[in-house]
Amino acid sequence: MSTLLKSIARARKEYCKTKPGSEEQRIAFENWSKLSFEEIKGAATVSEAYAAYIHAPFRGDALDAARDKWNELSLKEAEEADTIEKAEAARMSAPNGSEAKRVALEKTYQLAVGVIERHLSNPQGVI
């Protein structure tokens, strides 16, 4: 576990130990959010963006930013997929209900249709 993730875990633990509605809770939430934004900023892959999402506070701007980053990187992965397997992997790792999931599904369909068309146009059945 990275140092940043350990810091986020500690910040979350501190938040959970505070009295609801207290000034201490507000400060702990701000600290947790700040650390989460650092993780989001550093995310370069879908799995890193997903990790930022699941470690972000339960609500607020950090959670929204993490989901946006996760969708952005998933969308790029879906658009760049050049095999059915890569398109399916992009679909499975994208956020539910996201543009990335829709694009990955369309890409899977397009690639599958291409395979079928090549198969049907080849009289020997060799693709």
Is the pLDDT score of 126 beyond 80?
Answer: no
Dihedral sign for Cα 76, 79, 85, 88, please: positive
Query: What digits encode the pLDDT tens for the residues 93-110?
Result: 999 999 999 999 999 999
pLDDT for 125 equals 60
Angular region, 97: left φ>0, alpha ψ -120 to 50, beta rest: left
Section 32-54 average pLDDT: 95
- Name the residue ranges covered by the structural domains of the chain: 3-121
| Confidence (pTM) | 0.82
Query: What digits encode the pLDDT tens for the residues 65-90?
Result: 999 999 999 999 999 999 999 999 99
% residues pLDDT > 70 (the chain): 96
